[in-house]
Amino acid sequence: ENGCKRKRKTKMASFFFRSQARCLGTVWRGQSSRRAGTFAEHFYAEEEHAAKTTITWRNISLFIAIPAVLLVGVNAFKKEQEHHRHREEHGKPEFIEYSHLRIRSKPFPWGDGNHTLFHNPETNPLPDGYEED
């Protein structure tokens, strides 16, 4: 003893010590060192697991996610083309002035205050009807 008093361990230091003891394979509260393994074994096992997981998620991304996004995109494109053909044949739907739609309690802060931010005159009517071409 060199005259220094041993400091009492705090909860955090105690937690850190126990977790490191498990990683290093020392016996702690009845755990055998065979179960815990050495630090190097633990490190290499984690590294191997990370490599396998990376390969798994790469394969999921390449062979499931990308084809799924492409299929959904093709389907959406076909539906949109069908919608445009229908619109060309039948024209705009008849405007019906419902009291609960297109309410303007105050003007929008852009433009003339009556058009929405992403207003499309071909598809979006104003409160009093479609805009004339």
- Tens of pLDDT along 90-101? 988 899 999 999
Selection from 5-14, 37-46, 111-120 with the highest mean pLDDT: 111-120
What tens digit of pLDDT does each residue of 103-119 get? 999 999 999 999 999 99
- CB 124: neighbour CB atoms within 10 A? 13
Residue 3's pLDDT band, with cuts at 50, 70 and 90, is very low
Let me know if 66 is exposed, middle or buried by CB neighbors in 10 A (0-12, 13-18, 19+).
Answer: exposed
**Spatial separation of the C-alpha atoms in residues 27 and 85, rounded to whole Å:** 75
Residue 27's pLDDT band, with cuts at 50, 70 and 90, is very low
Task: Please state, rounded to an integer, the average pLDDT across all residues of the chain.
Answer: 81
Whether pTM exceeds 0.75:
no
According to the model, what pLDDT value does residue 26 have?
46
**Spatial separation of the C-alpha atoms in residues 24 and 20, rounded to whole Å:** 6
**Spatial separation of the C-alpha atoms in residues 25 and 40, rounded to whole Å:** 10
